């Protein structure tokens, strides 16, 4: 399994846990989890993957990753 595939799998697993809380709460919760527990390099990799179309990423983690990307983008 490639690094990107592994990160996608992990993000989807996280997404499936928070999905029960509904999208409005799940998306920031997933983003918060990635921010607290993933290294900057892992976050950068998943952000880049999402930017490239996010193949394999479920909807909620994809939204969460885009939230991260927006927060990381220069103002």
Nearer to other proteins, 44 or 66 (CB): 44
DSSP-assigned letter for residue 56: T
Nearer to other proteins, 17 or 55 (CB): 17
Cα 5 from Cα 23, distance rounded (Å): 23
Instruction: Give me the 14-43 binding string for other proteins, x by CB under 8 A, dash otherwise.
Output: x-xx-xxx-----------x--xxxxxxx-
- Is residue 55 close enough to count as binding other proteins by CB under 8 A? no
- Is residue 44 close enough to count as binding other proteins by CB under 8 A? no
As given in the structure block, the two tokens for residue 67 are 């939230």
Nearer to other proteins, 6 or 51 (CB): 6
Q: Is 21 left (phi over 0), alpha (psi -120 to 50) or beta?
A: alpha
């Amino acid at each position: 399994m490639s690094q990107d595939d592994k990160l996608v799998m992990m993000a989807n697993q996280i997404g499936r846990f928070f999905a029960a809380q509904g999208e409005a709460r799940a998306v920031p919760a997933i983003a918060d989890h990635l921010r607290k527990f993933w290294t900057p390099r892992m976050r950068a990799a998943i952000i880049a993957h999402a930017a490239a179309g996010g193949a394999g990423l479920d909807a909620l983690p994809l939204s969460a990753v885009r939230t991260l990307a927006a927060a990381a983008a220069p103002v």
